[in-house]
A and B are shown apart, each in its own frame.
Chain A
């Protein structure tokens, strides 16, 4: 990799980092507006046009609030908790392919933080680290409610990670790779009926989606911060920007979960008729193959973000529709329904691959026009 490519890649990482922060910021605004609209209200509309400066106002509020340390709290861990939650939330978006690549002459810039061949494993590893942030914060608070919330978070995340992983295995059986970029490219078969993984894995998607809700501690699985029982759950004792970091980390997690679902099941940066568009650009508009590909990549980038926004909206829509599960219901759903269902899905997928209904790993994408480096 040349130095110039490295510089471009660094820029891409910075842009993606900034974008995920920006999206998380505006998630706070979107959450309040969507909540309001679903409840026949209008939501924040005072700060700036349509209340668009509301996240800034919230940030000022968060930063200027008193920073409170509960008596008997472990101060170092108390600070470390929200930091860890934030860091792990931000790290997980590194391997997500937000777009294909841009090619200028010999310089190829991938619209992805970093491409590693164990991308999905990396996401899982980082996401499961995220529970430590909650666990440490809850424990360091020296508060029964915080600790209860933290324990709930830990057991809930462990339970649902199992079903999530099993749902994912069915996808991996078809793709034969852990690389998110390759999984995306495999979903770009032109003119085939199994276009995106959602068509081949509807059950797996439902399981994965439910588990993603549980992993991000969103309603109906927000027992770790269950206000009616635990005051504020694991962040009861947190104030000021440390609380802000926890809330922010939750939104980044929602963003990453939406991105992962879009990539795994909804074709990632692929969009319908991209080949036709590429050919039309080359034949009618006279663009070179590289330039046509660049246009497709940018459109795909925008398309992936549309999918992500749709998922974020879905997360919020569900939050303001469904009530919270009871704890035993949560555990029963996780262990006695989702995990057996996920195992059944694996068997089903295996059977379908064996009888040739779903094509197994295909190396066609190595020769596909959009996979060329």
Chain B
């Protein structure tokens, strides 16, 4: 039959030669191939000790950013929660008290902010929705595995970008001792 593509390879079923029938040459050929692989570089990445590099656009664990003065940027508008297709984000909004100007950037802030990492699909829509540039998905961190389900609900203690209370003066933050304690307990 005429081949349509003209690329068909014509196969001839030839009888085996003596070398082919003796198997042994082919076996040694195969053995030499596997022996080459024996000395090749291994493809394995020994995970906990070695990690493979993340892509620069990788969407990993969320972080709630602070501004240049160390204040939380989030104003608890709820746009991220609305944008979230997996409904992983919940928050409770509160009003900033007097004297907390150096903790929260806006008058309204998130008293609690929780992301359920089991629901989250890491699509990054919350990042796109945020008008205050407060939430980002880090490119170098993943949500680590846990034994209990409730350990996957990340509160502000694990989401807000840490700032060391000790170098606050360098970053222009003036905290009262009580506020420093509060921040410490948040970061703990």
> Chain A residues in contact with chain B, CB under 8 A?
34, 37-42, 45, 206, 317-318, 320-322
Contacts and interface: CB of A to CB of B under 8 A. Distances in A.
A38 B34 contact: yes
Contacts, number: 36
Interface of B: 24, 27, 30-31, 33-35, 37-38, 40-44, 46
Contacts of A317: 31, 34-35
A42 B33 CA distance: 18
A196 to B, nearest CB: 20
Contact of B34 (A41, A45, A206, A321): A321
Pick the most buried of B30, B33, B37: most chain A CB atoms within 10 A of its CB: B37
A356 B42 CA distance: 53
Contact of A40 (B35, B37, B46): B37
Contacts of A206: 24
Given A317-B35, A321-B34, A41 B27 contact: no
A41 B38 CA distance: 9
B43 A320 contact: no
B44 A320 contact: no
Contacts of A34: 38
List the 8 shortest-distance A-B pairs measured between CB atoms, nearest first: A321-B34, A42-B44, A38-B34, A321-B30, A40-B43, A37-B38, A42-B42, A41-B44
A322 B41 CA distance: 22
Contacts of B30: 321-322
A231 to B, nearest CB: 27
A252 B46 CA distance: 32
Nearest to B40: A40
B42 A41 contact: yes
Given A206-B24, A322-B27, A40 B34 contact: no
A38 B34 CA distance: 6
Interface secondary structure of A, over-half rule: loop
Contact of B37 (A39, A42, A322): A39
B42 A40 contact: yes
A209 to B, nearest CB: 11
A206 B31 CA distance: 15
B31 A321 contact: yes
A324 to B, nearest CB: 14
A40 B45 CA distance: 11
Contacts of B34: 38, 317, 320-321
Contacts of A40: 37, 40-44
A38 B46 contact: no
A91 to B, nearest CB: 32
B46 A45 contact: yes
A41 B24 contact: no
Contacts of B40: 40
Contacts of A321: 27, 30-31, 33-34
8 contacts: A37-B38, A38-B37, A39-B37, A42-B44, A42-B46, A320-B34, A321-B34, A322-B30
A318 B35 CA distance: 10
Contacts of B24: 206
A320 B27 CA distance: 12
Contacts of A322: 27, 30
A122 B2 CA distance: 66
A318 B31 CA distance: 7
Nearest to B38: A37
A152 to B, nearest CB: 21
A188 to B, nearest CB: 29
B29 to A, nearest CB: 10
Contacts of B33: 321
Contacts of B35: 38, 317
A360 B38 CA distance: 42
Contacts of B27: 318, 321-322
Given A40-B41, A41-B43, A317-B34, 10 more contacts: A38-B37, A38-B38, A40-B42, A40-B44, A41-B42, A42-B46, A206-B24, A317-B31, A321-B34, A322-B27
A45 B34 CA distance: 21
A329 B129 CA distance: 67
Contacts of B44: 40-42
A317 B41 CA distance: 18
A266 B159 CA distance: 68
B117 to A, nearest CB: 27
A38 B41 CA distance: 11
Nearest to A43: B44
Pick the most buried of B33, B34, B41: most chain A CB atoms within 10 A of its CB: B34
A103 B93 CA distance: 91
A45 B49 CA distance: 12
A38 B35 CA distance: 7
A339 to B, nearest CB: 16
A98 to B, nearest CB: 28
A45 B44 CA distance: 11
Nearest to A40: B43
Nearest to A41: B44
